[in-house]
Structure 1
Amino acid sequence: MSPRSSGATGSRRAGDVNVPSDEAVGVRRFWERLGLPGLVDVHTHFMPDRVLAKVWQYFDSAGPLVGMRWPIAYRHEEERRIAILREFGVRAFTSMVYPHKAGMAAWLNGWAADFAAATPDCLRTATFYPEPGAEAYVREAVEGGARIFKAHVQVGGYDPNDDRLDAVWGLLADAGIPVVTHCGSGPAPGKHTGPEPIGRLLARHPRLRLVVAHMGMPEHADFLDLAERYEEVRLDTTMAFTDFTERFSAFPRAELPRLVELGERILLGTDFPNIPYAYVHQLEALERLGLGDAWLRGVCHDNGARLFGLPPA
């Protein structure tokens, strides 16, 4: 199903759809206080309807990779979800698609290309899986204008060092395209999660623009080590520091000074719509770290705008 067939044409204004205006006021107040033109969110999910329904069903059942009650805060039709992000003032967002088995990635890439074409504020997103033909469809996505990739080591259950992916990683490193990668062992470990496999990958592809999702939880310090070692490694804030996550994977406060030192390589991510709390809470959680307005401006907008070459607002 194309995004146009489900109503997401990219031409409707936020006011055309019922959105949570009270929360939107809070989100806008946050970035307006910082003097920003809006937000850049590198970790949001838009998928084909039937795929997203299965993802939500997995969260509802507290599946083994979730392991806890996880209510979806923004369980809306696609058009409304787009409108909500626009009402919040999110200038650019992503359609983080990912396969859990072979034979899905090329199809998801086609869907995501259509979605981005119909939704101009979405950065065209693509994905891959260790399978024959991966290099070819990744090259096609790159040449077609993909601006960001998603690799889900936990859900995909694959080793990022699989030989079938070596040419893929090399291609993406050469192209300088960021790859948001769920490689930490939270909320539940996978067979190939943790810093060790990613460390081996980066040793072979040191110029790879790898974005460690969820601040690498729970191995926060280890992934910060990798970011300090490799200058193109970044981390996104997705779900980190929130009340929900701090209960089972608290960010070590002794590591906060390192977030300041790496400030230009920390990017806002939220996991919208698959979060069990209001979007504004992610922003509040970042603010209460007390790392300063300059740090917040970089994380919430400027770092992402620079990475993706966004035009001035």
Structure 2
Amino acid sequence: MPGAEGEAARVAGFLVRHQLPGLVDVHTHFMPERVLNKVWAYFDAAGPLVGSEWPITYREEEGRRLTRLREFGVVAFTSLLYPHKPGMAEWLNGWAAGFAARTPGCLHSATFYPEPGVEAYVRRAIEAGARVFKAHVQVGAYDPNDPLLDPVWGVLAEAGVPVVTHCGSGPAPGRYTGPGPIARLLARHPRLPLVVAHLGMPEYSDFLSLAERYGQVRLDTTMAFTDFSESRAPFPRVELGRLRDLADRVLLGSDFPNIPYPYVHQLEAIERLGLGSEWVRGVCHGNGAALFRLEGNGEA
């Protein structure tokens, strides 16, 4: 585990170099303890959706993890959680609402699953103040075009609530991952504020095309450009120009705490793309602050 003081100093240097008031991280995970322990056990076992060794860098109790984010200058973050079967989502939403209420800086997060009653509990979550949803097509093993979800996407599009969606085929493909199902979804819901997790890894180019076609589609950087991901699914350098041109729709994501390297490495991996400080400021703060209508220095 990285030394807290040394890593915080490196993050502070990054903030100074790019004149950043703090970080807005749209892809972090906080969950009920027993759920998170099961997630960690799955990573430890290198389960089929992981496929290789994946040490958890920040295997710490909840309070320490929150302190870490504050030490790193993260002023707004999410508690993304996701069900893998029916009957989980509404319970997870209740936990996430309580977590956001007691945790400064946390954007009230929620989720859903294709099941009877899903539209009703998504509406209730929005009415309760949910500001971001998580959809995990890979873990949930569901088609985003499932008829049960069609009214949900419509509700989210109408409310303008972003949905961070793991829809790319990394680290291992699923039955419904890849750009095809999402392209069909966006054809029906073109105003849906969809945030493509992991930049759509490894189908980067296809998801860049969807972002160019649909003005409400964004991409988060989660694990992209890092040494870990570059050795497995490198971002094509010929696409850097397209990434630069989408400057206002790329968002910082990290996957904290479930990452196999220090948090600062994600920031330095973004920096070493060489797209300039203005681009870095937008990705790491400005774009997320605008999306979530954060005030002042971006605090939630």
TM-score range normalised by the length of the shorter chain: over 0.9
Q: What percentage of residue pairs aligned between the two structures are identical?
A: 73
Give the aligned partner of residue 277 of structure 2: 293
Structure 1 distance, partners of 2:28, 2:290, is 18
Matched, 1:73 2:54: no
- In the alignment, is the contact (CA less than 8 A) between 1:67 and 1:188 conserved in 2? yes
Give the aligned partner of residue 261 of structure 1.
245
Distance 2:278 2:47 in 1: 39
Question: What's the secondary structure of 1:86's corresponding residue?
Answer: helix
* Partner residue of 1:240 out of 216, 220, 224: 224
Distance 2:222 2:233 in 1: 13
What pairs up with 1:47-196 in 2 under 5 angstroms?
47-196=31-180
Q: 1:226 and 2:219 equivalent?
A: no
User: Shift in Å at residue 79 of structure 1?
Assistant: 0.5
Q: Deviations over 1:103-141 (max 9, x none)?
A: 000000000000000002000000000000100000000
Report how many aligned residue pairs link the two structures: 296
Check conservation: 1:180, 1:211, Cα contact below 8 A.
Answer: yes
Asked if residue 310 in structure 1 is aligned to residue 273 in structure 2, the reply is: no
Distance 2:132 2:12 in 1: 25
Partner Cα distance (2:214, 2:254) in 1: 24
Asked if 2 retains the 8 angstrom alpha-carbon contact of 1:238 and 1:270, the reply is yes
Partner SS for 2:50 = coil
SS in structure 1 opposite 2:177? Answer: coil
Alpha-carbon distance in 1 for matches of 2:257, 2:292: 22
Q: CA offset at residue 34 of structure 1?
A: 1.2
The separation in 2 between residues aligned to 1:290 and 1:161, in whole angstroms, is 37
**Structure 2 match to 1:38:** 22
Query: Partner of 2:262 in structure 1?
Result: 278
2:191 counterpart residue number: 207
1:22, distance to aligned residue in structure 2 (A): 1.2
Distance (Å, rounded) in 2 between the aligned partners of 1:32 and 1:38:
10
Residue 28 of structure 1 contacts residue 38 of structure 1 at CA under 8 Å; is this kept in 2? no
Q: Give the deviation of 1:28 after TM superposition.
A: 1.5
Query: 2: distance between equivalents of 1:52 and 1:261?
Result: 37
RMSD: 0.9
Whether the 8 Å contact between 1:99 and 1:129 is mirrored in structure 2 is yes
Q: Give the TM-score normalised by the residue count of structure 1.
A: 0.94
**Gap regions ≥5 residues in structure 2:** none
| Partner SS state of residue 47, structure 2 | coil
Instruction: Give, in whole Å, the separation in 1 of the partners of 2:273 and 2:39.
Output: 31
Aligned residue type for 2:47: G
